[in-house]
Structure 1
Amino acid sequence: MRTFVAAADSGSFTKAAPLVHRTQSAVSMQMQRLERDLGRTLFHREGRGVALTSEGDVLYRYARRLLALHDEALIALGGPRLHGVVRFGAPEDYSTRYLPGALQRFAAAHPGVQVDVFCDDSIRLRDKFRTGELDVALTTEERAGTVDSRPLPLAWLVAERGAPVDRRPLPLALYHTGCLYRRNALAALERAGIAYRVAYGSPSMTGVLAAIRAGLAVGPVAVGTTMEGCRLAMPRDGLPNIPPVATRLRVRQDAAPALPEAFAGFLRQELALLP
């Protein structure tokens, strides 16, 4: 499975070979055997490279999960016994979306570690990280491009029934000034020439979602956000596309880096930031 994932990620048996400490021919033979055992074609051969077939893509998703569980088991049984406190900061929507799964798996591997969670906007979280008040921080950035960052697509969230998408000025439910979701959403409306008004402002995701669910306003959220009674806007709603932002994971490397780095590893799996 590790060889299979390396080949899929690198797009080449040759490039995968040094990653798994094998020769190119050994990687090729392993993949041929895997395809034979499964009775499925996993790779398209494209010149000197390879690409996953649709069936290979299905196996890839399972393979990543299997390897993550394997690595977690090794940490839990044979890794260092970590103790102490990790101070983690993230915006509220990130905490509810990514943190539960990571916390559950981290607690199983490191039961002696206490995780203190601080929810705030990204501006204040960056400041707290710089001043040493946080060990690990997950923040919203303008764009991806740094290590441990990835694009985060945005979309409009509207009520399933009675969403005011045709009302002008368009009523909005937004985070307070300084939020990149807010900035990009307003810029998209201005480019599209759609008049709007900020009907509801809140520093809390709960407050924003409550106004949207009630059909009183629409608002920008990360794609993948779900809320009973709400849906993501569709083309027929006539709302403009919102430019994406990015998420970035920050980890302290000073003092005792083993504990923050261990916690960050579980977050990377949850955020799909693994190499």
Structure 2
Amino acid sequence: MIQLGPDLLRTFVAAADCGSFTRAAPTVHRTQSAVSMQMKRLESDLGQALFRREGRGVALTTEGDVLYRYARRLLALHDEALAAVGGPKPHGVVRFGAPEDYATQYLPGALKRFATAHPFVQVDVFCDESSRLREKYRAKELDLVLTTERHAGGSDSRSLPLSWLVAERGAPVETRPLPLALYHAGCLYRRNGLAALEEAGIPYRIAYGSPSMTGVMAAIGAGLAVGPVSVGTTMPGCRLALPEDGLPPIRPVGIRLHARKDGAPDMVEAFAGFLRQELALDRA
């Protein structure tokens, strides 16, 4: 039976992240030839080509990309298990900031798993707009923050698709001007939603505004308006718009994790790791 040991998977992930066996070698404390031999053995065991040559480096094949996603998850669980049952238990406080909808959608899973591995670490969560969270992060009032960006790009980020949220019954999708429930000015969901309507030539009016997700979704759930949300947003009595609703597609935004590295306690980086896995953030 083929065994995917953590050492082998760690070398594989390092090679994929670095895009080169040579650059991966020092990160896993092996020689370049040892890394190359490990990857050849892994490909032989699986009967699949995991890397293809690309210039002076390597890139993942389709099969390699599939294994990469599983390898990241397996290594995270491996490290999580070791942290939960062995070694000293860190104490302290992690100060984390996120917009309200991100905290609702992504935080429960990460918090549950983090609490299992680090039961004595306190996590303080602050919900606010992305612009204010960036300010608090730069002022070192927060250790790590999730923010909405105009575009995805770089490490610790990914694209976040948007859609229209409407009431399951009685949604005013054919009303003109279209009544909208939006976050306050400055929100990228609001900007991209309005841009989509203007490009489609659909007249609209801003019927409800709120700085909180609860306020926006209350108006949508009551069938009084529609509004732009991330595609993972759920609420009883609401659904994401369907093509037959006639609402235009909305350009995606980016979601980015800012995690303090210089002088940050180990528990901050540990919590960042749980968030990276929960959000499936792009590697560097």
Deviation at 1:56, TM superposition (A): 6.4
Structure 1 residues 29 and 115, CA gap change in structure 2 (3 angstroms): same
Correspondence list, 1:105-254, <5 A: 105-254=113-262
Query: Aligned pairs, how many?
Result: 273
Distance 2:116 2:22 in 1: 37
C-alpha distance after superposition, 1:56-113 (max 9, x if no partner) = 6665543332111012123334555321111111111111111111111211222221
* Cα contact 1:13–1:50 (8 A) shared by 2: no
Shift of 1:181: 0.7
Could you tell me whether the CA contact under 8 Å between 2:182 and 2:210 is conserved in 1?
Answer: yes
Cα distance in 2, alignment partners of residues 64 and 36 from structure 1: 21
Secondary structure in 1 matching 2:78: helix
Distance in 1 (CA, whole Å) between partners of 2:30 and 2:74 is 21
User: Which one-letter code corresponds to 2:97 in the other structure?
Assistant: G
Contact 2:94/2:267 (<8 A) preserved:
yes
Per-residue Cα deviation, 1:132-152 (whole angstroms, up to 9, x for no partner): 221221111222334422222
Pairing partner for 1:68 from 73, 76, 79: 76
TM-score normalised by L of structure 2:
0.79
Distance 1:254 1:25, change over 3 A: closer
Describe the SS at the equivalent of 2:218: helix
Structure 1 residues 56-65 or 122-131, which shifts more?
56-65
Cα separation, partners in 2 of 1:125 and 1:164, compared to 1, 3 Å: same
Unaligned runs of 5+ in 1: none
5+ residue gaps, structure 2: 1-8
* Separation (CA, whole Å) in 2 of partners of 1:245 and 1:105: 27
Q: Deviation at 1:224?
A: 1.9
State yes or no: 1:258 paired with 2:278.
Answer: no
State whether residues 81 and 110 of structure 1, in contact with CA within 8 Å, keep that contact through their aligned partners in structure 2.
yes
What are the Cα deviations for residues 8-44 of structure 1, in whole angstroms up to 9, with x where unaligned? Answer: 6677878877765667886677667657766x75759
Identical counterparts, % of pairs: 75
Distance in 2, matches of 1:240 and 1:166, equals 12
Does structure 1 retain, via aligned residues, the 8 Å contact 2:105–2:232?
no
| Cα deviations by residue, 1:177-218 (Å, 9 ceiling, x for unpaired) | 121111111122112211101111112212222222222211
In 2: Cα distance, 1:252 partner to 1:2 partner: 24
In structure 2, relative to structure 1, the CA distance for the partners of 1:27 and 1:126 (3 Å cut) is closer
Partner amino acid, structure 1, of 2:193: A
Change over 3 Å in CA distance of 1:8–1:195 after alignment to 2: same
Partner amino acid, structure 2, of 1:237: D
Is the CA contact (8 Å cut-off) linking 1:181 and 1:221 kept in structure 2?
yes
Structure 1 residues 50 and 122 mapped into 2: Cα distance closer, same or farther (>3 Å)? Answer: closer
CA contact (8 A) 1:8 1:52 kept: no
Task: Find the aligned partners of 1:82 and 1:252 in 2 and give their Cα distance.
Answer: 18
TM-score by length of 1: 0.82
The 1-side partners of 2:262 and 2:14 are apart by: 31
Match of residue 84 from structure 1: 92
